[in-house]
């Protein structure tokens, strides 16, 4: 589970859209003169070099397909210092990395499910890790061998974990509206029940006698660990909780404010308004005199008065945009602050001086789309924070990355000759010359959104869609001039695909249909029904005879293009299907979606050949290289993975 990621996206969208009217006063459907994109560099994570397989993926070889590389470690989630201050644990959507105090990676735990929360045991390097979709925590200490699960409790993911500071091996695990304990307390307390919404935050008092919980029922509750009884309940839209070192104050992080409560009775002592972090982003100093709080910057707050003494963070790094803090964690000695920043970096700060000490990259946002350049040497990816990233496939490294302000990138595609790169954005389409990486032209302005686009195989046309009225613009690829507008869908268009001969265009929509058009004259040739929900993806087979559509009903449907006849329904996905791609050889179809598994199908027999797990969140995009030797997948776990034959 990824808490509050939409908060960050909402902020980015607000920032992006707030300047629209300044950028272009009026929107025009044809090629418009638009200001050059403001290319803001973004951090470049390392990847894995890829040795391209010698043979393409076919129905005969599909069982030998395996992961070849993973680029990125996913989006940042949580951080915790070991009690002795020698290790910093950082959870991302794909696993947990252990860093030393200088931010050098020491160990890594790859996980098949997203970690949700972290906590070190007192006086130990044992780390408890909550997992999405699992009703138990993992306990991991690299010195003692592999990670192992704690006790399993009720169905549901673990949303919060905390160790008692006094009772040996006493781990609190929040699952659903209850808190369970790995070992009974001295008086036999095994669980706490009373919340009516999922518990999302837990904090033990320093003496271990009480435990505070915050939940989705918008309450903060304090419990007696001796009896398991509730001491009080106060309103609170909680995202994080912290006791002061003396146990007298309880800090409550909420959306847009921090409240300091008297721990004894829950009465409000002080309130500090302002942006807060998207995760656990509050921490008391060891003496309790100050509180550090994340937000657009890190604020140093005097606990006694609630006064903000000063702030540091993005403003000290000359960031153009505010970066919401994901999480932060004080080292035990109070001299170092670990910050999971909104630019997907892990940062170490000296909180006393407000000075950046070290930075670790390698993390990223959710992947929206991937596409290979025609030569197969470059892969472009767009992410949900609006960034565009170009990867050198062989080297496994990013060659270029930027964010086009103020509009956020949604999708990207290379022209068939590789000379152009089209970027679909909230606010229009921008086309770049790949030889000079200068903007060739743009169709941009308020209300012009491009969420999907596709070049025709002959390179003459560029189809774009994204507005809610279901219209599709077919443009001249060289200039962006609108040639035709296709507009019979009754819902948003989610996918576009040209036939191999460029004579047909398929469109998939929220209205549960796929339509086939003559794009040069707006003639609608067929409406393909059958899906019971929105259709998310569409692709022509390389010979142009078969069309695949996939949607939220969890099915992939194959149609005969010539007669509009349904050929097969592929229905083994356990959830919405978001991506389809035919291998260039035409005998394999790749599909993927919310069940986090890529499935390879034999097109002739309509049978599943192999399932490829690995991603820890929904897979949003698939692309084969032109040779058919590599399959790229992008996911909401923030990683790109490359797949191919491992032997032949």
Q: Is the pLDDT of residue 178 over 80?
A: yes
Respond yes or no on whether the N-terminal peptide bond of residue 468 is cis (omega within 30° of 0).
no
- Name the residue among 582, 621, 73, 126 with its Cα closest to residue 379: 621
Amino acid 482: pLDDT: 92
DSSP state of 142: G
Residues in the chain: 648
- Name the residue among 401, 362, 508 with its Cα closest to residue 46: 362
Q: Is the pLDDT of residue 319 over 70?
A: no
Q: Is the pLDDT of residue 301 over 90?
A: yes
- Name the residue among 499, 560, 511 with its Cα closest to residue 535: 511
Place of tokens 């673990």: 158
Amino acid 410: pLDDT: 87
Q: Is the pLDDT of residue 138 over 50?
A: yes
Query: 218-238 in b/e burial notation, b at 16+ Cβ within 10 A?
Result: ebbbbbebeebeebebbebeb
Structure tokens at 191: 């669980």
Where does the pLDDT of residue 278 fall: very low under 50, low under 70, confident under 90, or very high at 90 and above?
A: confident
Amino acid 316: pLDDT: 58
203 neighbors 161 (Cβ within 8 angstroms): no
Taking residue 45's Cβ as centre, other Cβ atoms within 10 Å add up to 23
Mean pLDDT computed over 589-604: 97
Full DSSP string of 97-129: EEE-TTS-EEEEEE-SS-EEEEEEPTTS--EEE
Amino acid 95: pLDDT: 93
Q: What is the pLDDT of residues 14-38, one digit of tens each?
A: 333 233 322 222 222 333 333 333 3
**Helix ranges, 415-478 (H):** none
Taking residue 105's Cβ as centre, other Cβ atoms within 10 Å add up to 14
Lowest mean per-residue pLDDT among 116-130, 316-330, 424-438, 579-593? 316-330
Give the E-state strand segments of 450-564 in sequence order: 452-455, 461-465, 472-476, 482-486, 493-498, 505-509, 514-518, 523-528, 535-540, 546-551, 556-560
Amino acid 34: pLDDT: 34
Q: Which domains does the chain have, with CATH numbers?
A: 5-16+45-71+364-645 (2.130.10.10)
Q: Is the pLDDT of residue 416 over 70?
A: yes
| Between residues 109 and 313, the one the model is more confident about | 109
Full DSSP string of 343-405: TS-EEEEETTTTEEEEEE------EEEEEE-TTSSEEEEEETTSEEEEEETTTTEEEEEEEEE
Cβ-based neighbours of 482, under 8 Å, separated by 6 or more: 29, 30, 31, 473, 474, 475
Cβ-based neighbours of 343, under 8 Å, separated by 6 or more: 42, 43, 319, 323
Cβ-based neighbours of 521, under 8 Å, separated by 6 or more: 484
Q: Which SS3 state, helix, strand or coil, does residue 281 take?
A: coil
Lowest mean per-residue pLDDT among 105-109, 384-388, 622-626? 384-388
Mean pLDDT computed over 350-371: 90
Lowest mean per-residue pLDDT among 42-56, 270-284, 523-537? 42-56
- Name the residue among 595, 567, 568 with its Cα closest to residue 579: 595
Q: What is the average pLDDT score of the chain? A: 87
Taking residue 622's Cβ as centre, other Cβ atoms within 10 Å add up to 25
d(CA 153, CA 460): 59
- Name the residue among 161, 157, 156 with its Cα closest to residue 140: 161
Q: Could you tell me the sign of the dihedral formed by the alpha carbons of 575, 577, 582, 583, in that order? A: negative
Cα three-residue angle 522-527-529, rounded to 5 degrees: 155
Where does the pLDDT of residue 406 fall: very low under 50, low under 70, confident under 90, or very high at 90 and above?
A: low
**How distant is the alpha carbon of residue 601 from its chain centre?**
27
Q: Give φ, ψ of 127 to 5 degrees.
A: -115, 125
Full DSSP string of 186-219: TT---EE---SS-EEEEEE-TTSSEEEEEETTTE
d(CA 450, CA 291): 43
Cβ-based neighbours of 371, under 8 Å, separated by 6 or more: 379, 380, 412, 413, 414, 623
Distances from the Cα of 470 to the Cαs of 139, 219, 411, 526, 632, in angstroms? 50, 43, 17, 16, 29
Q: Is the pLDDT of residue 183 over 80?
A: no
Structure tokens at 601: 């199908």
d(CA 428, CA 57): 35
| Between residues 343 and 193, the one the model is more confident about | 193
Q: Is the pLDDT of residue 404 over 90?
A: no
Mean pLDDT computed over 92-106: 94
**How distant is the alpha carbon of residue 386 from its chain centre?**
12
Q: What is the pLDDT of residues 387-396, one digit of tens each?
A: 899 999 999 8
Amino acid 36: pLDDT: 37
Cα three-residue angle 625-627-632, rounded to 5 degrees: 25
91 neighbors 117 (Cβ within 8 angstroms): yes
Mean pLDDT computed over 208-216: 95
Q: What is the pLDDT of residues 420-478, one digit of tens each?
A: 999 998 888 999 999 999 999 988 765 678 999 999 999 999 999 987 788 999 999 99
509 neighbors 492 (Cβ within 8 angstroms): yes
Structure tokens at 377: 């040497």
pTM, to two decimals: 0.82
Amino acid 421: pLDDT: 97
Place of tokens 């300047």: 19
Mean pLDDT computed over 186-197: 84
Amino acid 38: pLDDT: 37
505 neighbors 494 (Cβ within 8 angstroms): no
Mean pLDDT computed over 400-413: 80
């Amino acid at each position: 589970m990824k808490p509050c990621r939409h908060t960050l996206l909402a902020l980015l969208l607000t920032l992006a859209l707030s300047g629209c009217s300044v950028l272009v006063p009026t929107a025009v459907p044809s090629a418009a003169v638009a200001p050059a994109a403001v290319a803001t560099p973004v951090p470049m994570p390392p990847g894995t070099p890829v040795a391209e397989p010698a043979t393409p993926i076919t129905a005969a070889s599909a069982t030998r397909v395996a992961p070849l590389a993973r680029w990125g470690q996913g989006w940042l989630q949580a951080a915790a210092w070991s009690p002795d201050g020698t290790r910093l644990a950082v959870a991302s959507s794909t696993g947990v990395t252990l860093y030393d105090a200088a931010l050098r990676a020491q160990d890594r735990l790859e996980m098949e499910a997203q970690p949700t929360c972290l906590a070190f045991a007192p006086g130990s390097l044992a780390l408890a890790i909550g997992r999405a979709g699992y009703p138990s925590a993992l306990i991991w200490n690299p010195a003692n061998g592999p990670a192992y699960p704690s006790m399993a409790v009720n169905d549901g993911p673990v949303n919060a974990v905390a160790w008692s500071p006094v009772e040996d091996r006493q781990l609190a695990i929040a699952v659903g509206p209850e808190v369970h304990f790995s070992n009974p307390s001295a008086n036999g307390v095994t669980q706490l029940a009373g919340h009516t919404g999922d518990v999302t935050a837990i904090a033990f008092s320093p003496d271990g006698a009480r435990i505070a919980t915050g939940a989705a029922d918008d309450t903060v509750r304090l419990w007696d660990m001796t009896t398991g009884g509730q001491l009080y309940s106060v309103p609170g839209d909680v995202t994080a909780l912290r006791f002061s070192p003396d146990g007298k104050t309880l800090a409550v992080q909420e959306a847009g404010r921090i409240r300091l409560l008297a721990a004894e009775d829950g009465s409000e002592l002080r309130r500090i308004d302002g942006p807060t972090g998207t995760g656990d982003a509050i921490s008391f100093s060891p003496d309790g005199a100050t509180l550090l709080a994340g937000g657009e910057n890190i604020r140093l707050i005097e606990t006694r008065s609630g006064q903000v003494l000063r702030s540091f963070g993005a403003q000290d790094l000359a960031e153009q945009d505010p970066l919401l803090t994901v999480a932060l964690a004080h080292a035990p000695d109070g001299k170092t602050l670990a910050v999971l920043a909104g630019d997907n970096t892990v940062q170490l700060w000296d909180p006393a001086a407000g000075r950046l000490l070290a930075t670790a990259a390698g993390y990223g946002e959710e992947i929206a789309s991937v596409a290979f350049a025609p030569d197969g040497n470059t892969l472009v990816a767009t992410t949900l924070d609006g960034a565009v990233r170009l990867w050198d496939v062989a080297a496994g490294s990013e060659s270029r990355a930027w964010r086009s302000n103020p509009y956020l990138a949604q999708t990207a595609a290379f022209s068939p000759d590789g000379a152009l790169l089209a970027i679909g954005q909230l606010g229009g389409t921008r086309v770049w010359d790949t030889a000079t990486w200068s903007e060739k032209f743009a169709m941009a302005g308020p209300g012009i959104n491009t969420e999907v686009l596709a070049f025709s195989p002959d390179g003459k046309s560029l189809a774009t869609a994204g507005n809610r009225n279901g219209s599709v613009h077919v443009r001249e690829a060289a200039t962006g001039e609108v040639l035709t507008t296709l507009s019979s869908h009754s819902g948003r268009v989610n996918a576009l695909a040209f036939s191999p001969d460029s004579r047909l265009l398929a469109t998939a929509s929220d209205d549960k249909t796929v339509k086939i058009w003559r794009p040069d004259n707006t003639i609608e040739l067929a409406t393909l029904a059958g899906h019971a929900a929105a259709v998310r993806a569409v692709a022509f087979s390389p010979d142009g005879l078969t069309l695949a559509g996939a949607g939220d009903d969890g099915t992939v449907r194959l149609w005969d293009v010539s007669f509009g006849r349904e050929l097969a329904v592929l229905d083994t996905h356990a959830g919405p299907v978001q991506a389809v791609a035919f291998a260039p050889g035409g005998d394999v179809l790749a599909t993927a979606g919310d069940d986090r598994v890529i499935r390879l199908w034999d097109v002739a027999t309509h049978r599943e050949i192999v399932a490829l797990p690995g991603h820890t969140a929904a897979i949003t995009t698939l692309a084969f290289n032109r040779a058919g030797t590599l399959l790229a997948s992008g996911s909401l776990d923030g990683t790109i993975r490359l797949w191919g034959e491992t032997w032949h």
